[in-house]
Amino acid sequence: MGIKSTLALSAAMPALLAACTTQDEQNGTGNIDAAPGERTSGYSEERNAYFGDLHIHTKNSFDAYIFNVRTTPEDAYRFARGETVKHPSGYDITISGPPLDFLGVTDHGAYMGILPAMDGVDERLSKLPIAKELYGTDPEVILRAFQLIGGTVRSGEAIEEIYDKEIIGQTWKNTVAAAEKYNEPGVFTTFSAYEYTSTYAPGQGSDSFAGGNLHRNVVFKGSAPDRPFSTLDSINPEDLWDWMDKQRDAGHESLAIPHNSNVSNSEMFKLATLKGQPLTKAYAEQRMRNEPIVEITQVKGTSETHPSLSPNDEWANFEIYDKLLASNIVSDTRHSYVRQAVRDGLVLQDTQGFNPFQFGFIGSSDSHVAGGSYAENNYWSKVGVVDGTAVARGSVPPGGQKTWDGVIVADNAKNWFSRWAASGLAGVWAEENTRESIFAAMRRKETFATSGPRIKLRFFGGFGFEPSLLEDPMLVKKAYANGVAMGGDLLAEGNKAPAFIAWAMRDPDAAPLQRLQIIKLWSDGKDSYEKVIDIACSDGLSPDAATGRCPDNGAGVDLSNCSITPNKGAGELRTVWRDPDYKAGQRAAYYLRALENPTCRWSTWDALTAGAKPNPALQPTLQERAWSSPIWLAPAG
């Protein structure tokens, strides 16, 4: 074997990262929440912001175990609560900032727990030739075996000899048990969950993993079925929804959260069913019943929008990642981004009377090492041993070198790892930290996403909101009473333009806020449009009348030590904004985006720590941010 084949192996390995899945069946193994009616001490009618992560993998995922991940679902919960766990590259990882409020472990349903079983745990499986190949010594053979498995996750044609439903069922049972063990109403909420890892690549065989990413995380409110419904049952997400509907009738309430639409090759939000049939009202209703929220940011990039779709949004180029998983094929952007999907949904509603894309937003990490790296200055990427060091992910030159002169960065680092992000978190507004309350918030889409910091966003829409309300100590109560919160529907009142209360509070451990923006999306009954409007600026500044943008607040970053300009930015920003361009009868959606002052990107922090120059191919700084779920405005009548 020569160098060539080894390189091929290393190149293909990262491809494995993407998957998610499971199977179906009824009957519960799960458990229930705190006794109904009892309130925990944090309960508030006006709701609290809670932060969590609903996308975490452990050793039970096929594409984690192969990269030496040995941490378990219990480890993931311990990590979220602030304890330290081991990274497969040998160092300790601890969450940045306070513990999380809620978490769901989402191992791939397809072959859940099978790779550990093949590695000596299960006698029959570990004696199979494919197990010998997978845990043998020839990288080429390992790669082939691993690709074979990944390829069948995609094709849905299981390798029968390793598709051991008993082991998958037992692994799932243990996953549910771990969630039950760590769920503590009022303190820390857990959800039984798994990933459904569908990848659509019509006409391709089982020999690779590349394709349109249609992955979803399935999150159960309380009790869970005996086994997960995975791509080995069906690769069609519409079949997953049928299964979820059936489970719901049997008492197992759940929702599915699509993610990485950015690498879906225009499949995630395409204007047709999976098989290319026209969309229908029934499709839209079933999709919304099962998928009220989407994940718009995570380690493998942000799916809000893309510069090619939003040329007038100067902040659209944020942590863009566009390679189809495990490949260097660039994903088709058209129906791959959330903003465009919300726009298309408005037009569908106008033209056909239904909207399959009326979803709220969350973020999560998709960490494959049982713990998310949410902070730029405490980053360990995603996969395991292949991107666990700064050199491996292309942020520090190899061999102790301090500059990039003459360095050729390995393809995987260049195209994949260095483009990944220290992102993101799910925010919810819920009365209390319980399954009941947080799940209800997700159902009504009163959720928001952040790129990592614990920025809190309030967003209300109504017709009676006046700027004087900002001075009112009862602002929140009155906003709920006289409007709708993020995720809600607003019905037009005559010709009145809608008004919005927009409010953001910084993370006390992160950078101050720079500006608040409204993203307005609307339909004229035929086409859709978008506009980004600065509505509040830090440092006593106001949006410029001509450009509509906040003037530069002078906040910068010193790249020699990553310090930020002191005394710039705001602890909180709030405003009431009334849409000056509203036209009666217009169907629109509005969401809020809050931007921090610029800070160093993780790759710059990595370089600083190593005493090396930052990789010139990467953006040295970024602006962390938070996104609210939209509020939809429907014409009256």
Interaction site with other proteins (CB under 8 A): 1, 3, 6-7, 9-10, 41-42, 44, 46, 48-49, 66-68, 86, 89-91, 98-99, 120, 135-139, 142, 385-386, 388-389, 392, 397-401, 406-408, 410, 456, 458, 470-476, 503, 505-509, 512, 570-572, 574
Of 367 and 389, which has the nearer Cβ to other proteins?
389
Shortest distance (Å) from residue 136 CB to other proteins: 6
Shortest distance (Å) from residue 489 CB to other proteins: 23
Of 467 and 548, which has the nearer Cβ to other proteins?
467
Of 1 and 491, which has the nearer Cβ to other proteins?
1
Of 7 and 329, which has the nearer Cβ to other proteins?
7
Q: What is the DSSP letter of 431?
A: S
Look-up of token digits 């998310």: 372
| Strand ranges (E), 559-624 | 563-564, 572-578, 587-596, 599-600, 621-622
Beta pairing class for 360-363 and 293-298: parallel
Shortest distance (Å) from residue 591 CB to other proteins: 18
Shortest distance (Å) from residue 388 CB to other proteins: 7
Distance from C-alpha of 118 to C-alpha of 114, rounded to nearest angstrom: 6
Shortest distance (Å) from residue 197 CB to other proteins: 21
Shortest distance (Å) from residue 67 CB to other proteins: 8
Beta pairing class for 587-596 and 513-523: antiparallel
* Residue among 147, 152, 178 at smallest CA distance from 56: 178
Of 256 and 504, which has the nearer Cβ to other proteins?
504
Shortest distance (Å) from residue 571 CB to other proteins: 4
Of 137 and 560, which has the nearer Cβ to other proteins?
137
Look-up of token digits 């160093």: 600
For residue 365, the Cα-to-chain-centroid distance in whole angstroms is 6
Of 91 and 529, which has the nearer Cβ to other proteins?
91
Of 67 and 241, which has the nearer Cβ to other proteins?
67
Neighbouring residues of 99: CB distance < 8 A, sequence distance ≥ 6: 80, 81, 82, 188
Shortest distance (Å) from residue 501 CB to other proteins: 10
What is the phi-psi region of residue 211: left when phi exceeds 0, alpha when psi lies from -120 to 50, beta otherwise?
A: left
Shortest distance (Å) from residue 409 CB to other proteins: 8
Distance from C-alpha of 344 to C-alpha of 337, rounded to nearest angstrom: 11
Cis peptide before 37 (omega within 30 of 0): no
8 A C-beta contact, residue 146 and residue 188: no
Q: Looking at 291-368, list the stretches that DSSP marks H as alpha helix, in order from N- to C-terminal side.
A: 338-352
Neighbouring residues of 202: CB distance < 8 A, sequence distance ≥ 6: none
Half-sphere exposure of 564 (CA within 13 A, CB side): 21
Q: What is the DSSP letter of 222?
A: S
Of 273 and 377, which has the nearer Cβ to other proteins?
377
* Residue among 440, 572, 461, 432 at smallest CA distance from 515: 572
Shortest distance (Å) from residue 44 CB to other proteins: 5
Q: What is the 3-state secondary structure (H, E, C) of 142-209?
A: HHHHHHHHHHHHHHCCCCHHHCCHHHHHHHHHHHHHHHHHHCECCCEEEEEEEEECCEECCCCCCCCC
Of 139 and 620, which has the nearer Cβ to other proteins?
139
